[in-house]
Amino acid sequence: SQQKRPIDYSNAASQRGYVTISPCSFGGRISRYIDMWRTITNDPWILETVEKGLTLDFMSPPTQQKIPHNAVMSADQIEICNAEVKSLLEKDAITRAIDCSFTSGFFLVPKASGGWRPIINLKALNLFIPHLHFKMEGVNTVRHTVRQGDWLSKIDFKDAYFSVALNPEQRKFFCFKWGGETFQYVSMPFGLGPAPRVFTKLLKPIVGFLRKQGLRLIVYLDDILIIGNSEESTREAVKLVVNLLESLGFVIQSEKSILEPSQVLEYIGLVIDTNSMTFCLPQKKKDKLLELCSKTYKSMSLSLREMASLLG
């Protein structure tokens, strides 16, 4: 078979000048970088998903007896949703629907940092999709990978799921109504049951390639922890990872990423200190936990949501 010409991924970002994409365009973004994907994997499912969009294996064609109503909202919440729909349109994550076969509700969930996050309620649609178990890296992986004195950096994706397109033939199942109009997702939305597994599977060849280069890294969905035995080697590893991810169409969220190496860093809800080799909760989480415990003690009762928050 014909051998692939090796590519220097350390400078990959400069090699894709032929691709012109609006900085705010995220809908199915990685499909425009299919040539770069072919240099790191020949997995048929990955290449087809990247190029043509995610095709879901529905157990049966999704049907519904009636279209659900959106939740009742305050004026401020309506403004939040208006802004979100506008943002989704600008990102090319949704479009106005022409053919609609399944409609989901549009509602708000509280954000951990405060405020509200508008999402599409895919609970009913998820019932038509088989649930498949898969392994994810996490705290235990970190414990067995980090060594005393290591240096750490963190990379966070921007709108990671939106970078994966949905198969055009199945977009009719991802509709929602807002402001008297019907919209449909063209890219993978949050709340889709198999989305974490799909995204983890897409990253697998990328992680494999980087580890073959000698990099130590942990990947939890769209959060990547980079580990090095020196500040400089970690800094170089960060450059390699960022350049590779960008060459494949992903966008790095600089606000949430920690690109400068440190020996104390928060990752997936824990503060890692490689000097003392300890893992602890961030101070904000400690304060919130104490507040919730105090509230529970005084009232002798708590809601299911509060119980879930207390148990972590």
| Furthest-apart CA atoms within the chain: distance in Å | 71
Neighbour tally for 98: CB within 10 Å: 9
Provide the CA 25 distance to its chain's centre, in angstroms: 16
pLDDT value at residue 4: 42
Q: In this structure, how many other beta carbons lie within 10 angstroms of the beta carbon of residue 40?
A: 19
Q: Which long-range contacts (CB under 8 A, 24 or more apart) does 209-214 make?
A: 209/9, 209/40, 209/244, 210/240, 210/241, 210/244, 213/240
What does the pLDDT read at residue 285? 74
Q: ∠ at Cα 110 (299, 225), nearest 5°?
A: 110
Position 140: which residue type? Answer: N
Task: Write down the pLDDT at residue 282.
Answer: 73
Residues 23 and 177: their CA atoms lie apart, in Å, by: 27
* Residue 16, pLDDT score: 39
Partners of residue 185 on adjacent β-strands: 94
pLDDT averaged over 10-residue windows placed end to end, the chain, 312 residues: 44 41 73 97 98 97 92 90 93 94 91 78 96 86 92 95 97 96 96 96 96 95 95 97 96 93 93 91 74 72 63 56
Domain 22-133+161-185 class?
A: alpha beta
Sheet containing 175-178: order of strands: 94-96, 181-185, 175-178, 103-110, 116-121
Distance (Å, rounded) from C-alpha 108 to C-alpha 117? 5
pLDDT (0 to 100) of residue 24: 59
d(CA 90, CA 262): 35
pLDDT at 249: 96
Q: How many whole angstroms separate alpha carbon 235 and alpha carbon 151?
A: 9
pLDDT attached to residue 283: 72
Q: Give residue 146's pLDDT.
A: 94
Cβ-defined contacts of 72-79 (< 8 Å, 24+): 73/108, 77/108, 77/116
Q: Return residue ranges of the chain for CATH 3.10.10.10.
A: 22-133+161-185
User: How far are the Cα atoms of 26, 145, 162, 225 from residue 201, in angstroms, in the given order?
Assistant: 19, 21, 15, 17
pLDDT reported for residue 95: 96
